[in-house]
Structure 1
Amino acid sequence: MEALQRRVADAARFDDHVGFDPAAVGVTGDASLAGDRPLVAGVDQAFFDDRAVSAVVCLRGDEVVERAHAVTDLSVPYIPGLLSFREGGPILAAFETLDSTPDLVVFDGSGRIHFRQAGLATHLGVVLDVPSVGVAKTLLCGRVEADVDGRPEGWRAPVVADGTVDAPAGTVLGYAYQSRQYESKPVINPLYVSPGHRVSAATAVDLVERLCAGYKLPEPTRLADRYADECKGRT
Protein backbone atom coordinates (compact mmCIF):
# COMPACT_ATOMS: atom_id res chain seq x y z
CA MET A 1 0.00 0.00 0.00
CA GLU A 2 2.80 2.40 0.86
CA ALA A 3 4.50 1.74 -2.47
CA LEU A 4 1.22 2.50 -4.26
CA GLN A 5 0.89 5.76 -2.35
CA ARG A 6 4.34 6.79 -3.54
CA ARG A 7 3.29 6.08 -7.12
CA VAL A 8 0.15 8.16 -6.57
CA ALA A 9 2.29 11.04 -5.27
CA ASP A 10 4.52 10.76 -8.34
CA ALA A 11 1.43 10.97 -10.57
CA ALA A 12 -0.06 13.93 -8.70
CA ARG A 13 0.38 17.52 -9.83
CA PHE A 14 1.01 19.96 -7.01
CA ASP A 15 0.82 22.98 -9.29
CA ASP A 16 -2.14 24.88 -10.70
CA HIS A 17 -3.90 23.11 -13.56
CA VAL A 18 -7.50 23.78 -12.66
CA GLY A 19 -9.33 24.93 -15.80
CA PHE A 20 -11.25 27.69 -13.98
CA ASP A 21 -10.56 31.08 -12.43
CA PRO A 22 -9.87 30.53 -8.70
CA ALA A 23 -11.15 34.06 -8.04
CA ALA A 24 -14.60 32.92 -9.22
CA VAL A 25 -14.84 30.35 -6.41
CA GLY A 26 -16.97 31.41 -3.47
CA VAL A 27 -20.11 30.76 -1.46
CA THR A 28 -21.47 34.28 -1.08
CA GLY A 29 -24.17 35.69 -3.30
CA ASP A 30 -22.68 37.67 -6.19
CA ALA A 31 -24.93 38.03 -9.22
CA SER A 32 -22.03 39.15 -11.41
CA LEU A 33 -20.32 35.76 -10.95
CA ALA A 34 -23.41 33.55 -11.05
CA GLY A 35 -22.83 32.10 -14.51
CA ASP A 36 -19.06 31.76 -14.17
CA ARG A 37 -18.70 30.11 -10.82
CA PRO A 38 -17.10 26.66 -10.83
CA LEU A 39 -19.00 23.66 -9.48
CA VAL A 40 -17.38 22.71 -6.17
CA ALA A 41 -18.03 19.35 -4.52
CA GLY A 42 -17.55 18.72 -0.82
CA VAL A 43 -16.93 15.18 0.41
CA ASP A 44 -17.34 13.74 3.89
CA GLN A 45 -18.31 10.45 5.51
CA ALA A 46 -20.10 9.00 8.50
CA PHE A 47 -19.48 5.50 9.86
CA PHE A 48 -21.35 2.80 11.71
CA ASP A 49 -20.70 -0.90 12.26
CA ASP A 50 -18.53 -1.92 9.28
CA ARG A 51 -20.14 0.44 6.80
CA ALA A 52 -19.45 3.92 5.50
CA VAL A 53 -21.94 6.57 4.45
CA SER A 54 -20.16 8.68 1.84
CA ALA A 55 -21.71 12.02 0.92
CA VAL A 56 -21.01 14.46 -1.91
CA VAL A 57 -22.59 17.92 -2.01
CA CYS A 58 -22.09 20.09 -5.12
CA LEU A 59 -22.28 23.88 -4.86
CA ARG A 60 -22.19 26.61 -7.45
CA GLY A 61 -21.71 29.72 -5.39
CA ASP A 62 -24.16 29.42 -2.51
CA GLU A 63 -26.58 27.19 -4.45
CA VAL A 64 -26.69 23.45 -3.78
CA VAL A 65 -26.84 21.91 -7.25
CA GLU A 66 -26.81 18.22 -6.33
CA ARG A 67 -26.35 15.83 -3.43
CA ALA A 68 -25.39 12.17 -3.72
CA HIS A 69 -24.47 9.41 -1.29
CA ALA A 70 -23.62 5.74 -1.06
CA VAL A 71 -23.67 3.25 1.80
CA THR A 72 -20.97 0.62 1.39
CA ASP A 73 -19.16 -2.02 3.41
CA LEU A 74 -15.69 -1.30 4.76
CA SER A 75 -13.28 -4.05 3.76
CA VAL A 76 -10.00 -2.48 4.95
CA PRO A 77 -9.20 -1.93 8.65
CA TYR A 78 -8.40 1.47 10.10
CA ILE A 79 -4.67 2.08 9.67
CA PRO A 80 -3.34 5.63 10.17
CA GLY A 81 -1.71 6.91 7.00
CA LEU A 82 -3.57 4.40 4.83
CA LEU A 83 -7.10 5.77 5.14
CA SER A 84 -7.53 6.26 1.40
CA PHE A 85 -7.60 2.47 0.98
CA ARG A 86 -10.37 2.18 3.59
CA GLU A 87 -12.41 5.24 2.61
CA GLY A 88 -11.59 5.76 -1.06
CA GLY A 89 -13.75 2.98 -2.51
CA PRO A 90 -16.87 4.08 -0.61
CA ILE A 91 -16.32 7.68 -1.76
CA LEU A 92 -15.95 6.60 -5.38
CA ALA A 93 -19.24 4.70 -5.00
CA ALA A 94 -20.92 8.00 -4.09
CA PHE A 95 -19.33 9.75 -7.08
CA GLU A 96 -20.73 7.03 -9.35
CA THR A 97 -24.26 8.14 -8.40
CA LEU A 98 -23.48 11.80 -9.15
CA ASP A 99 -24.90 13.37 -12.32
CA SER A 100 -22.79 16.52 -12.09
CA THR A 101 -19.12 16.86 -13.02
CA PRO A 102 -17.38 18.98 -10.37
CA ASP A 103 -14.66 21.45 -11.32
CA LEU A 104 -13.10 21.17 -7.87
CA VAL A 105 -13.44 18.63 -5.05
CA VAL A 106 -12.78 19.48 -1.40
CA PHE A 107 -12.17 16.49 0.88
CA ASP A 108 -12.42 16.17 4.63
CA GLY A 109 -8.90 14.81 5.02
CA SER A 110 -5.31 15.37 4.00
CA GLY A 111 -3.80 15.89 0.58
CA ARG A 112 -0.06 16.43 0.29
CA ILE A 113 0.28 16.81 4.07
CA HIS A 114 0.86 13.07 4.38
CA PHE A 115 3.82 10.84 5.17
CA ARG A 116 4.11 9.83 1.51
CA GLN A 117 2.49 12.99 0.04
CA ALA A 118 -0.62 10.98 -0.90
CA GLY A 119 -3.49 11.52 1.49
CA LEU A 120 -7.13 10.93 0.61
CA ALA A 121 -7.49 14.16 -1.41
CA THR A 122 -4.41 13.32 -3.47
CA HIS A 123 -5.27 9.67 -4.00
CA LEU A 124 -8.83 10.33 -5.16
CA GLY A 125 -7.88 13.51 -6.99
CA VAL A 126 -5.52 11.43 -9.13
CA VAL A 127 -8.06 8.62 -9.60
CA LEU A 128 -10.78 11.09 -10.65
CA ASP A 129 -8.29 13.39 -12.41
CA VAL A 130 -9.97 16.43 -10.87
CA PRO A 131 -8.51 19.45 -9.06
CA SER A 132 -8.74 18.59 -5.39
CA VAL A 133 -7.94 20.02 -1.97
CA GLY A 134 -7.62 18.34 1.40
CA VAL A 135 -8.86 20.05 4.56
CA ALA A 136 -7.88 18.31 7.81
CA LYS A 137 -8.68 19.27 11.38
CA THR A 138 -5.39 17.93 12.77
CA LEU A 139 -1.82 17.98 11.49
CA LEU A 140 -0.81 14.51 10.31
CA CYS A 141 2.87 15.26 9.69
CA GLY A 142 5.23 18.03 8.70
CA ARG A 143 6.00 21.18 10.65
CA VAL A 144 4.15 24.49 10.84
CA GLU A 145 6.52 27.43 10.49
CA ALA A 146 4.86 29.33 13.35
CA ASP A 147 3.05 28.82 16.62
CA VAL A 148 -0.62 28.05 15.82
CA ASP A 149 -2.16 28.87 19.20
CA GLY A 150 -4.78 31.62 19.38
CA ARG A 151 -4.26 33.00 15.90
CA PRO A 152 -6.78 35.50 14.50
CA GLU A 153 -9.22 34.71 11.73
CA GLY A 154 -7.52 34.76 8.32
CA TRP A 155 -4.06 33.88 9.63
CA ARG A 156 -2.05 31.32 7.69
CA ALA A 157 1.43 29.77 7.87
CA PRO A 158 3.21 27.19 5.70
CA VAL A 159 3.40 23.54 6.67
CA VAL A 160 6.79 22.26 5.53
CA ALA A 161 8.29 18.81 5.13
CA ASP A 162 10.53 17.48 7.86
CA GLY A 163 11.87 14.02 8.64
CA THR A 164 8.35 12.55 8.80
CA VAL A 165 7.59 13.19 5.10
CA ASP A 166 8.87 11.68 1.84
CA ALA A 167 9.83 15.10 0.45
CA PRO A 168 12.90 17.33 0.60
CA ALA A 169 13.13 19.16 3.92
CA GLY A 170 11.47 22.57 3.74
CA THR A 171 9.09 21.67 0.89
CA VAL A 172 5.83 23.56 1.41
CA LEU A 173 3.19 20.83 1.73
CA GLY A 174 0.26 23.09 2.60
CA TYR A 175 -0.86 25.67 5.12
CA ALA A 176 -2.24 26.00 8.60
CA TYR A 177 -5.23 28.30 8.13
CA GLN A 178 -7.34 29.99 10.79
CA SER A 179 -10.77 30.06 9.22
CA ARG A 180 -12.60 31.32 12.30
CA GLN A 181 -11.72 32.57 15.75
CA TYR A 182 -13.49 33.79 18.85
CA GLU A 183 -12.36 37.01 20.53
CA SER A 184 -12.24 35.08 23.81
CA LYS A 185 -12.17 31.45 24.84
CA PRO A 186 -12.82 28.78 23.69
CA VAL A 187 -10.02 29.11 21.16
CA ILE A 188 -10.62 27.54 17.73
CA ASN A 189 -7.76 25.54 16.27
CA PRO A 190 -6.67 26.08 12.64
CA LEU A 191 -7.39 23.87 9.65
CA TYR A 192 -4.59 22.15 7.77
CA VAL A 193 -5.07 22.73 4.04
CA SER A 194 -3.07 20.97 1.36
CA PRO A 195 -3.23 20.39 -2.38
CA GLY A 196 -4.65 17.10 -3.52
CA HIS A 197 -4.12 17.16 -7.27
CA ARG A 198 -3.78 19.87 -9.95
CA VAL A 199 -3.70 22.64 -7.31
CA SER A 200 -0.74 24.39 -5.69
CA ALA A 201 -0.44 24.82 -1.93
CA ALA A 202 -0.96 28.59 -2.17
CA THR A 203 -4.03 28.25 -4.37
CA ALA A 204 -5.46 25.51 -2.14
CA VAL A 205 -5.52 27.75 0.92
CA ASP A 206 -6.87 30.68 -1.12
CA LEU A 207 -9.73 28.46 -2.34
CA VAL A 208 -10.57 27.28 1.18
CA GLU A 209 -10.61 30.88 2.40
CA ARG A 210 -13.08 31.75 -0.36
CA LEU A 211 -15.25 28.74 0.50
CA CYS A 212 -15.64 29.48 4.21
CA ALA A 213 -18.90 31.20 5.13
CA GLY A 214 -18.63 32.09 8.80
CA TYR A 215 -18.00 28.55 10.00
CA LYS A 216 -14.74 26.77 10.76
CA LEU A 217 -15.15 24.31 7.88
CA PRO A 218 -15.47 25.32 4.23
CA GLU A 219 -19.10 25.26 3.16
CA PRO A 220 -18.87 22.27 0.75
CA THR A 221 -17.46 19.89 3.38
CA ARG A 222 -19.62 21.35 6.16
CA LEU A 223 -22.73 20.56 4.13
CA ALA A 224 -21.36 17.15 3.15
CA ASP A 225 -20.80 16.37 6.84
CA ARG A 226 -24.43 17.29 7.62
CA TYR A 227 -25.70 15.28 4.67
CA ALA A 228 -23.65 12.21 5.66
CA ASP A 229 -25.15 12.35 9.16
CA GLU A 230 -28.63 12.82 7.67
CA CYS A 231 -28.19 9.77 5.44
CA LYS A 232 -26.77 7.73 8.31
CA GLY A 233 -29.84 8.55 10.39
CA ARG A 234 -32.08 7.19 7.64
CA THR A 235 -30.08 3.98 7.14
Structure 2
Amino acid sequence: MELARPEFVPDSSLSRTEMEALQTDIADAGVFTDDLGSTFGQPPVVAGVDQAFDGEQATSAVVVMQGTEVIERTHATEPTEIPYIPGLLSFREGGAILAAFERVEQKPDVVLVDGSGRIHFREAGLATHIGVTLDVPTVGVAKNLLCGQPRESLSEPLPAGERVPIEADEDVTAPDGTVIGYAVQTRQYDSGSRHINPLYVSPGHRVSAETAADVVARHATEYKLPEPTRLADAYADELTS
Protein backbone atom coordinates (compact mmCIF):
# COMPACT_ATOMS: atom_id res chain seq x y z
CA MET A 1 0.00 0.00 0.00
CA GLU A 2 1.14 3.52 -0.75
CA LEU A 3 0.91 6.59 1.45
CA ALA A 4 -1.96 8.88 0.47
CA ARG A 5 -0.96 11.77 2.75
CA PRO A 6 2.82 11.59 3.34
CA GLU A 7 2.72 14.97 5.09
CA PHE A 8 1.01 13.19 8.00
CA VAL A 9 3.67 10.51 8.53
CA PRO A 10 4.45 10.62 12.28
CA ASP A 11 7.70 12.38 13.09
CA SER A 12 9.00 11.70 16.59
CA SER A 13 11.46 14.60 16.33
CA LEU A 14 8.62 17.14 16.54
CA SER A 15 7.97 19.01 19.76
CA ARG A 16 4.86 18.09 21.72
CA THR A 17 3.19 21.30 20.55
CA GLU A 18 3.99 20.43 16.93
CA MET A 19 2.68 16.87 17.37
CA GLU A 20 -0.59 18.14 18.80
CA ALA A 21 -0.93 20.68 15.97
CA LEU A 22 -0.39 17.90 13.42
CA GLN A 23 -3.08 15.83 15.12
CA THR A 24 -5.50 18.75 14.78
CA ASP A 25 -4.78 18.82 11.04
CA ILE A 26 -5.27 15.04 10.84
CA ALA A 27 -8.63 15.28 12.64
CA ASP A 28 -9.69 17.99 10.19
CA ALA A 29 -8.81 15.64 7.31
CA GLY A 30 -10.51 12.66 8.99
CA VAL A 31 -13.93 11.46 7.87
CA PHE A 32 -16.11 10.10 10.66
CA THR A 33 -18.96 8.99 8.40
CA ASP A 34 -19.28 5.84 6.31
CA ASP A 35 -17.27 5.73 3.09
CA LEU A 36 -16.56 2.02 2.84
CA GLY A 37 -17.07 1.40 -0.87
CA SER A 38 -19.42 -0.94 -2.68
CA THR A 39 -17.51 -4.16 -1.90
CA PHE A 40 -17.94 -3.97 1.85
CA GLY A 41 -21.08 -6.07 2.00
CA GLN A 42 -19.41 -9.13 0.32
CA PRO A 43 -17.16 -10.67 2.81
CA PRO A 44 -14.92 -7.60 3.27
CA VAL A 45 -11.14 -7.80 3.34
CA VAL A 46 -10.28 -6.83 6.92
CA ALA A 47 -6.77 -6.18 8.27
CA GLY A 48 -5.90 -6.38 11.94
CA VAL A 49 -2.89 -4.49 13.32
CA ASP A 50 -1.08 -4.92 16.62
CA GLN A 51 2.34 -4.19 18.06
CA ALA A 52 4.86 -5.94 20.27
CA PHE A 53 8.05 -4.52 21.73
CA ASP A 54 11.59 -5.73 22.26
CA GLY A 55 13.59 -3.11 24.10
CA GLU A 56 13.46 0.06 22.03
CA GLN A 57 12.11 -1.71 18.93
CA ALA A 58 8.45 -1.87 17.92
CA THR A 59 7.27 -4.69 15.68
CA SER A 60 3.99 -4.08 13.91
CA ALA A 61 2.13 -7.15 12.67
CA VAL A 62 -0.62 -7.01 10.04
CA VAL A 63 -2.97 -9.93 9.43
CA VAL A 64 -5.33 -9.63 6.47
CA MET A 65 -8.49 -11.77 6.42
CA GLN A 66 -11.48 -12.33 4.21
CA GLY A 67 -14.23 -14.13 6.05
CA THR A 68 -12.48 -16.72 8.23
CA GLU A 69 -9.45 -17.10 5.93
CA VAL A 70 -6.09 -15.42 6.49
CA ILE A 71 -4.97 -14.22 3.06
CA GLU A 72 -1.83 -12.28 4.01
CA ARG A 73 0.53 -11.61 6.91
CA THR A 74 3.31 -9.08 7.04
CA HIS A 75 5.30 -7.10 9.57
CA ALA A 76 7.94 -4.43 10.09
CA THR A 77 10.20 -3.39 12.94
CA GLU A 78 11.17 0.20 13.65
CA PRO A 79 12.80 1.96 16.63
CA THR A 80 10.60 3.65 19.20
CA GLU A 81 12.23 7.04 19.59
CA ILE A 82 9.94 8.51 22.24
CA PRO A 83 8.35 7.04 25.39
CA TYR A 84 4.66 6.34 25.67
CA ILE A 85 2.77 9.62 26.13
CA PRO A 86 -1.04 9.46 26.45
CA GLY A 87 -2.56 10.96 23.33
CA LEU A 88 0.65 10.78 21.26
CA LEU A 89 0.85 7.02 20.71
CA SER A 90 1.01 7.32 16.91
CA PHE A 91 4.35 9.14 17.12
CA ARG A 92 5.78 6.16 19.02
CA GLU A 93 4.21 3.27 17.05
CA GLY A 94 3.00 4.76 13.77
CA GLY A 95 6.29 4.37 11.91
CA ALA A 96 6.32 0.59 12.35
CA ILE A 97 2.66 0.32 11.33
CA LEU A 98 3.12 2.33 8.15
CA ALA A 99 6.27 0.37 7.30
CA ALA A 100 4.30 -2.88 7.65
CA PHE A 101 1.52 -1.57 5.41
CA GLU A 102 4.07 -0.72 2.70
CA ARG A 103 4.46 -4.52 2.38
CA VAL A 104 0.73 -5.30 2.24
CA GLU A 105 -0.28 -6.41 -1.26
CA GLN A 106 -4.05 -6.87 -0.78
CA LYS A 107 -5.59 -3.50 0.05
CA PRO A 108 -8.12 -4.01 2.87
CA ASP A 109 -11.66 -2.68 2.88
CA VAL A 110 -11.22 -1.76 6.54
CA VAL A 111 -8.37 -1.84 9.07
CA LEU A 112 -8.80 -2.63 12.76
CA VAL A 113 -6.06 -0.90 14.77
CA ASP A 114 -5.08 -1.72 18.34
CA GLY A 115 -5.58 1.81 19.68
CA SER A 116 -8.07 4.65 19.71
CA GLY A 117 -9.50 6.54 16.77
CA ARG A 118 -11.85 9.43 17.47
CA ILE A 119 -11.87 8.60 21.19
CA HIS A 120 -8.93 10.95 21.62
CA PHE A 121 -8.36 14.42 23.04
CA ARG A 122 -7.94 15.92 19.55
CA GLU A 123 -10.03 13.26 17.71
CA ALA A 124 -6.86 11.88 16.10
CA GLY A 125 -5.76 8.73 17.84
CA LEU A 126 -3.56 6.03 16.33
CA ALA A 127 -6.34 4.61 14.13
CA THR A 128 -7.19 8.06 12.74
CA HIS A 129 -3.54 8.92 12.13
CA ILE A 130 -2.96 5.67 10.22
CA GLY A 131 -6.29 5.81 8.40
CA VAL A 132 -5.87 9.37 7.14
CA THR A 133 -2.23 8.83 6.14
CA LEU A 134 -3.15 5.73 4.10
CA ASP A 135 -6.67 6.97 3.22
CA VAL A 136 -8.19 3.64 4.16
CA PRO A 137 -11.26 3.01 6.37
CA THR A 138 -10.03 2.35 9.89
CA VAL A 139 -11.49 1.45 13.27
CA GLY A 140 -9.80 1.96 16.63
CA VAL A 141 -10.09 -0.98 19.04
CA ALA A 142 -8.74 0.00 22.47
CA LYS A 143 -8.72 -1.94 25.73
CA ASN A 144 -8.85 1.22 27.87
CA LEU A 145 -10.86 4.42 27.63
CA LEU A 146 -8.53 7.34 26.90
CA CYS A 147 -11.11 10.11 27.23
CA GLY A 148 -14.80 10.85 26.73
CA GLN A 149 -17.75 9.97 28.91
CA PRO A 150 -19.88 6.79 28.73
CA ARG A 151 -23.56 7.65 28.37
CA GLU A 152 -24.32 5.00 31.01
CA SER A 153 -22.26 3.77 33.94
CA LEU A 154 -19.84 0.96 33.16
CA SER A 155 -19.29 0.06 36.81
CA GLU A 156 -21.37 -3.12 36.39
CA PRO A 157 -20.43 -5.83 33.86
CA LEU A 158 -22.21 -5.56 30.51
CA PRO A 159 -23.80 -8.63 28.92
CA ALA A 160 -22.31 -9.91 25.69
CA GLY A 161 -23.57 -7.97 22.68
CA GLU A 162 -24.27 -4.79 24.65
CA ARG A 163 -22.80 -1.44 23.59
CA VAL A 164 -22.78 1.92 25.35
CA PRO A 165 -22.12 5.21 23.52
CA ILE A 166 -19.03 7.21 24.49
CA GLU A 167 -19.69 10.94 24.25
CA ALA A 168 -17.28 13.85 23.94
CA ASP A 169 -16.80 15.93 27.06
CA GLU A 170 -14.59 18.89 27.98
CA ASP A 171 -11.44 16.81 27.36
CA VAL A 172 -12.32 16.25 23.68
CA THR A 173 -12.31 18.81 20.87
CA ALA A 174 -15.62 17.52 19.45
CA PRO A 175 -18.76 19.29 20.69
CA ASP A 176 -20.01 18.01 24.05
CA GLY A 177 -22.38 15.07 23.61
CA THR A 178 -20.99 13.98 20.24
CA VAL A 179 -20.89 10.17 20.07
CA ILE A 180 -17.19 9.51 19.40
CA GLY A 181 -17.32 5.73 19.89
CA TYR A 182 -18.81 2.86 21.85
CA ALA A 183 -17.96 0.55 24.70
CA VAL A 184 -18.59 -2.80 22.99
CA GLN A 185 -19.00 -5.98 25.01
CA THR A 186 -17.96 -8.71 22.60
CA ARG A 187 -18.22 -11.56 25.11
CA GLN A 188 -18.88 -12.11 28.80
CA TYR A 189 -18.52 -14.88 31.37
CA ASP A 190 -21.71 -16.63 32.43
CA SER A 191 -20.52 -16.67 36.05
CA GLY A 192 -20.93 -13.55 38.17
CA SER A 193 -17.68 -14.22 40.03
CA ARG A 194 -15.56 -12.65 37.28
CA HIS A 195 -16.16 -10.49 34.24
CA ILE A 196 -14.64 -9.21 31.00
CA ASN A 197 -14.29 -5.49 30.41
CA PRO A 198 -15.61 -4.00 27.16
CA LEU A 199 -13.55 -2.84 24.22
CA TYR A 200 -13.57 0.88 23.41
CA VAL A 201 -14.30 1.14 19.71
CA SER A 202 -14.15 4.35 17.69
CA PRO A 203 -14.05 5.46 14.07
CA GLY A 204 -10.58 6.09 12.71
CA HIS A 205 -11.31 7.31 9.18
CA ARG A 206 -14.14 6.86 6.65
CA VAL A 207 -16.24 4.93 9.18
CA SER A 208 -19.05 6.11 11.47
CA ALA A 209 -19.09 5.31 15.19
CA GLU A 210 -22.05 2.97 14.69
CA THR A 211 -20.44 1.07 11.82
CA ALA A 212 -17.15 0.83 13.74
CA ALA A 213 -19.00 -0.95 16.56
CA ASP A 214 -20.82 -3.17 14.04
CA VAL A 215 -17.56 -4.21 12.34
CA VAL A 216 -15.94 -5.17 15.64
CA ALA A 217 -19.01 -7.10 16.80
CA ARG A 218 -19.23 -8.89 13.45
CA HIS A 219 -15.62 -10.08 13.67
CA ALA A 220 -15.72 -11.19 17.30
CA THR A 221 -15.62 -14.95 17.82
CA GLU A 222 -15.27 -16.73 21.16
CA TYR A 223 -12.55 -14.26 22.16
CA LYS A 224 -12.74 -10.69 23.42
CA LEU A 225 -10.75 -9.20 20.55
CA PRO A 226 -12.08 -9.25 16.99
CA GLU A 227 -10.36 -12.06 15.10
CA PRO A 228 -8.11 -9.95 12.82
CA THR A 229 -6.58 -8.04 15.75
CA ARG A 230 -6.40 -11.17 17.90
CA LEU A 231 -4.37 -12.91 15.21
CA ALA A 232 -2.21 -9.81 14.71
CA ASP A 233 -1.54 -9.74 18.45
CA ALA A 234 -0.48 -13.41 18.38
CA TYR A 235 1.68 -12.84 15.29
CA ALA A 236 3.43 -9.83 16.86
CA ASP A 237 4.18 -11.88 19.99
CA GLU A 238 5.50 -14.72 17.82
CA LEU A 239 7.84 -12.34 16.00
CA THR A 240 9.31 -10.90 19.21
CA SER A 241 9.51 -14.05 21.33
TM, length-normalised to structure 1: 0.92
| 1:70-109 paired onto structure 2 within 5 Å | 70-109=76-115
**Shift of residue 21, structure 1, vs aligned partner:** 5.5
* Alpha-carbon distance in structure 1 between the residues aligned to 2:227 and 2:239: 18
3-state SS in 1 of match to 2:165: strand
Alignment CA distance shift 1:153-1:21 (3 Å): farther
Measure the CA separation in 2 of the matches of 1:157 and 1:74.
34
Deviation at 1:100, TM superposition (A): 1.5
Once residues 103 and 90 of structure 2 are traced to their aligned partners in structure 1, the CA distance between those partners, rounded to angstroms, is: 19
Residue aligning to 1:168:
175
RMSD of aligned residue pairs (Cα, Å): 1.0
Match of 1:202 in 2: 210
Residues 141-200 of structure 1 deviation map (CA, whole Å, 9 limit, x = unaligned): 000011222110000111000011111100000001111100112110011000000000
Structure 2 residue 122 is matched with structure 1 residue 116: yes
Structure 2 residue aligned with 1:193: 201
Is the aligned partner of 1:213 residue 2:221? yes
Structure 1: gaps spanning 5 or more residues: 25-35
| Equivalent AA in structure 2 for residue 50 of structure 1 | E
- Structure-2 separation of matches of 1:20 and 1:174: 24
Mark the runs of 5 or more structure 2 residues left unpaired by the alignment: 1-18
Pairing of 1:1-235 with structure 2 (within 5 A): 1-20=19-38, 22=40, 24=41, 36-148=42-154, 149-184=156-191, 185-233=193-241
TM-score by length of 2: 0.90
Partner of 2:10: none
Note the alpha carbon deviations across 1:7-55, whole angstroms, 9 max, x for none: 1000000000010465x3xxxxxxxxxxx31110000000111001110
**For 1:170 and 1:6, how far apart are their aligned partners in 2?**
19
Instruction: Name the SS for the 2:194 alignment partner.
Output: coil
For 2:160 and 2:150, the matched residues in 1 are separated by: 17
Task: Verify the 8 A CA contact 1:20 1:38 in the aligned structure 2.
Answer: no
Q: CA deviation at 1:76?
A: 2.4
Which aligned segments of 4 or more residues in structure 1 are displaced greater than 6 angstroms? none
